[in-house]
Chain A
Amino acid sequence: MVNGYIPASLPEALKIRAAQKVIPYAGGTDLMVKNPKDAVYLFLGKLPELTEIKSDAEYIRIGAAVTYTQALNSSLVPPLMKEAVSGIAAPAIRNAGTFGGNLGNGSAKADSVLIDFTADAKLRLMSVRGERVVDVTKFYLGRKKLDLAEDELIVEILLPKTGLENYYYKKVGGRNALAISRVAFAGVLRMDGEKIARFTAGFGAVADTVLRFPDLEAQLTGKTLSEAKEIKDRLLRQYSEKLVLTRGRVSAEYRKAVCMNLLRDFLAEKGI
């Protein structure tokens, strides 16, 4: 066979990845749009180590080659992630597209990646040299730039098991199906009794990477909903200043207006 390797196991895949210049191939839905003539693929889509969804004490562990359809049919995957991936493209793409591929493609428009960011997911990366676990927020270094070495593969996405129940998600696309996000927004509010334990707001498809502003999010930590309401206007002003967006398929102004509307809607829906 030319232009491809089909490893039988993850260790074999890592050896090939270290020794050859290959493109990791999971679902193919992004890669095959370009499919350059000289591409040499490392086919990972059928590796047992990468195609399972598991649960341990802390995390839901989604294998990098798990497809969106597989996740939608799993009782382990949190509703926030399911809602986001159910809006990706259409059934045939969801049958092939994978969580690892969505990350590896490096786009800020990747709908599952917005949830990875909002959930503070971690990624398990492996190479023949060993493995490391990185925060997804640190994995993205810039537009299409990832903290992934030439010999590394994305192996698992680790989603926290709890804390994502009270969420808000909206994708704004040009149509109902087969839509690339123009703006996507995900928010999570976790309460500890009367007080806010965690407030997260992630903005997808509006800049080089998914955006979050931890210093602004932290302003609501420890506050009651009515205390949060008191500082809401100031918080919204600060978000408005920080949201410096780029132009893409739509203008930066449109993106910003939609981001602010969705943030306001999220806060209002959650009683802030």
Chain B
Amino acid sequence: MEAIQFTLNGKSVQYDGSAADRLLDVLRDAYRCTSVKCGCKEGECGACSVLLDGKLINSCCVAMGAVQGSEIVTLEGYRETARFAVLDKAFAEISAVQCGFCIPGMVLASEAILAANPHPTEAEVRVGISGNLCRCTGYNAIVTAIMNASKEGNGLW
């Protein structure tokens, strides 16, 4: 049978491994997208979050066969955007990052929140990152950073 075709960070790629392989492992091992972190392998932590056809998805819970024909964006691709620049600044300004392990997922969750709703309430932001665990920050700084990005990036989302 044919290889699995999909778009990774804007580039068309072909994967000829097993359709049962985890997207998380394939992104890290075959395509060296090491921003995608493995925290739990059961959809509980959000460290492996990517955008699949624009939606936030835990890449640990996706088999490669489900990716056929889809568009995947990881932080490696997202960091080239103007939206990322706004989030980058907002997170850095108030030190919303400590160890950093959850941050690629947090940033993509932030993108998913703001893409759906450019001016979310604090409660909506908390729901939006509710699947992304952070063991360092206590979340408040991250929530503030996303709220600040929403103001600073007015018109981008």
Q: Which residues of A contact B (CB under 8 A)?
A: 1-6, 25, 27-29, 31-33, 35, 39-41, 43, 45-46, 69, 89-93, 95-96, 176-178
Contact = CB atoms under 8 A, between A and B. Distances in A.
A93 B1 contact: no
Interface stretch (B71-79, B95-103, B124-132, B147-155): B124-132
A41 to B, nearest CB: 6
Contacts of B130: 90-91, 176-178
Contacts of B55: 69, 95
B19 A2 contact: yes
Contacts of A32: 22, 43, 60-63
28 contacts: A1-B3, A1-B16, A1-B18, A3-B65, A4-B18, A4-B63, A25-B63, A25-B65, A25-B66, A28-B61, A28-B62, A28-B63, A32-B22, A32-B63, A33-B41, A41-B63, A41-B65, A43-B68, A46-B66, A46-B68, A46-B69, A89-B43, A90-B132, A91-B127, A91-B128, A92-B56, A92-B109, A178-B131
Interface in B16-68: 16-22, 41-44, 46, 49, 52, 55-58, 60-66, 68
A92 B49 contact: yes
B112 interface: yes
Nearest to B16: A1
Interface of B: 1-4, 16-22, 41-44, 46, 49, 52, 55-58, 60-66, 68-69, 109, 112, 127-128, 130-132
Given A28-B62, A43-B66, A93-B131, A1 B56 contact: no
Nearest to A94: B131
Given A1-B3, A4-B18, A177-B130, A93 B66 contact: no
A2 B63 contact: no
